[in-house]
Structure 1
């Protein structure tokens, strides 16, 4: 995943997850504005805190920890670029 901005974006995370996990359902929500002033916030109200709701064949049958690990692995470049917090909801089809 290439991060085109100084901070991760919902579109960038979505592209990375689609490429890595081929989800059947995916929603990426930037919740950064709600965390402005908290530890890890970049002071600009975007790109630090996200929520991901995802269903993907690659996650089927995995326990919660293993499924979350795959999502985290797919987004490692975003963490390196400033992603501070990620809430993951694994959906079952």
Structure 2
């Protein structure tokens, strides 16, 4: 299963007609939806690191589909350097 294969029983709903159309509005809406998903999953007992792993995996599939292998690899190499230099440093969180 990947980001393009919905789980059994999942039905996608179309975006409402009033959905934002600008890039920044779409980013904001998706960020809000992602945060809601993350909070719901943790409330249901899904381990924090599992949510993160699944999110990263889905993102990689999306980047590959849009930008291809070379560009995606370059982006991920940059992200790896950012992680190593502490840009994403956060305290460990127990599940």
Q: TM-score range by the shorter chain?
A: under 0.3
Superposition TM-score, scaled by structure 1 size: 0.28
Q: Which has the higher helix share?
A: 2
Q: Which has the higher strand share?
A: 1
Larger Rg: 2
Superposition TM-score, scaled by structure 2 size: 0.28
